[in-house]
Structure formats: C-alpha cells, structure tokens
C-alpha cells in the first residue's frame, strides 16, 4: 500500500511540478532517512485501518447477493 501511494503521488507531483509528500518520501529513502518513512507509515496505518472497518460495516449493513 505504501508503495502504491508513494509511486502514484510521486509521478503526479513530478508531472505537475507540485511539491508534496511523494517527493519527500522518495528523497528520504534516497538519503536513507528511515525515520521519516517510518513516521509516515505509522501515521498512515490508522487511516487504512479505518477504511477497512468502514468497508466491513458497509458489507454488513447492505448485503448484496452475487
């Protein structure tokens, strides 16, 4: 998931010349600054967990037959 976020945002930021999180993550990994990459992953993880809980709740509340 982190790789998808990293590559997607990095490509868009380079195409449109927008400074953003993708460039910072690539620069931190190139400079071997693992603290920044770990902090970003730790902050992003709860948001992904919340999205997963919402998906499960949605399937329980609105069941669909296949």
| Confidence at 18, pLDDT banded by 50, 70, 90 | confident
How far apart CA 6 and CA 18 sit, in angstroms, is 14
User: Per residue in 24-36, pLDDT tens?
Assistant: 777 787 888 888 7
Residue 53 in tokens: 């809980």
How far apart CA 26 and CA 33 sit, in angstroms, is 10
Give the per-residue pLDDT at 5: 54
How far apart CA 4 and CA 6 sit, in angstroms, is 5
Whether 13 and 60 have beta carbons less than 8 Å apart is answered as no
Give the per-residue pLDDT at 2: 54
């Amino acid at each position: 998931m982190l790789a998808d976020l990293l590559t997607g945002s990095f490509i868009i930021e380079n195409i449109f010349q927008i400074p953003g999180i993708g460039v910072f993550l690539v620069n931190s990994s190139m400079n071997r600054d693992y603290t920044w990459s770990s902090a970003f992953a730790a902050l992003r993880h709860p948001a992904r967990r919340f999205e997963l809980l919402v998906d499960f709740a949605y399937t329980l509340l609105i069941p669909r037959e296949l």
